[in-house]
Amino acid sequence: MEDKVFELDGVSRSFGSLKAVDNLTLSLGRGEVTGFLGTNGAGKTTTIKMLIGLIRPTSGTVRLFGGDPTVSATRARIGYMPEMAYYYPYLNVRELLSFYGGVCGMDKQTVKARTDELLEEVELVEAAKRPLKTYSKGMLQRAGIAQALLNDPDLLVLDEPFTGLDPLARIHFRNLLKKLRGQGKSIFFSSHELGETELLCDNVAIMKKGQCIYHGPVDRLAGDGGGNLERLFLDVLKKGGVA
């Protein structure tokens, strides 16, 4: 069994003259929850895209469960929720999950059982027959987390999962992530929500201009200045690292 769920080793990615990610080395251990922080354009989404095999790095290596994430079979053990997807507006959430189940190669009975379970979990049972085009942003986020959890993944990769959620939905989502952490799932999520990150994460990684300027435990970061994550995040960004 692998120690590391994923490993990025000296990874860089350029788009023309723009270096979106620069020599990034980062890893996630089994059962760890890591928050991926940084300002807009810091390279978080590009890193996530490389991690799940959507794009290849210009240099360096990305290993997911010891394999190459661009090989489709390697992605069988991950669940991914993008920053804001609109999914398929003409499908209802059951059809959406049935479709993704088929794409994951799951059999119909398993998909049905898992769908029932997840709809309860994300509180979409009552809206299950409504087309997704009638869903609010928060409901779409919940449909998004349901599709990410459908194949019971070992690693959850979430890009800005708290975006668009109202306070109640946010609390519910936070509790869901805590429950998943309790089940031993590894979770890696990018966020601008420092409060949520502080509540959920074992570790944080902070990106600035494509480089990781801090990767380590939240409490160590908090301990350095004895303050909250928000203030420390700003300090780290200003200093360019932690002393």
Partner 1 sequence: MKGSMRRIGALVKLSLLELWRRNDMFALLVLSLVLLVPLSLARPFGASGATRYFDEVALLLVWCYSLFIALGIGGRLFTSEFANRTVYPLLAKPVSRGELLVGKYLGAVVASWSALAFFYILWVASSLLRGGECLTVCLFQAFILHALFAALAVAAAVAGSFLLTPSASTTLLAILFPAMFFFGRHLPDYAENVSGVLRGLVNAFYWIAPHAEFFDMRQRLVHGWGGVEAGVFLAVVGYGVVYSAVLLFLAHFLFKRKRL
Q: Which residue has the tokens 């780290």?
A: 236
| Of 82 and 210, CB closest to partner 1 | 82
CA distance to 34, 79, 179, per residue, from 185 (Å): 11, 11, 9
Distance CA 42, CA 206 (A): 9
- 113 exposure class (CB count in 10 Å sphere: 0-12, 13-18, 19+): exposed
CB of 186 to partner 1, least distance (A): 15
| Of 134 and 228, CB closest to partner 1 | 134
Q: Which residue has the tokens 């201009």?
A: 209
CB of 168 to partner 1, least distance (A): 24
| Of 102 and 225, CB closest to partner 1 | 102
| Of 100 and 173, CB closest to partner 1 | 100
CB of 66 to partner 1, least distance (A): 16
Distance CA 176, CA 160 (A): 15
Distance CA 216, CA 37 (A): 12
CB of 103 to partner 1, least distance (A): 5
Distance CA 60, CA 185 (A): 26
Nearest to 216 by CA among 20, 227, 229, 175: 229
CB of 148 to partner 1, least distance (A): 7
Maximum Cα interatomic distance, the chain, rounded to a whole number of Å: 54
Amino acid residing at 163? T
| Of 89 and 227, CB closest to partner 1 | 89
| Of 78 and 124, CB closest to partner 1 | 78
Nearest to 151 by CA among 117, 177, 199: 117
Residues that bind partner 1 in the complex, under the rule CB under 8 A: 15, 49, 52-55, 72-76, 78, 80-91, 95, 98-105, 144, 147-148, 151, 157
CB of 169 to partner 1, least distance (A): 19
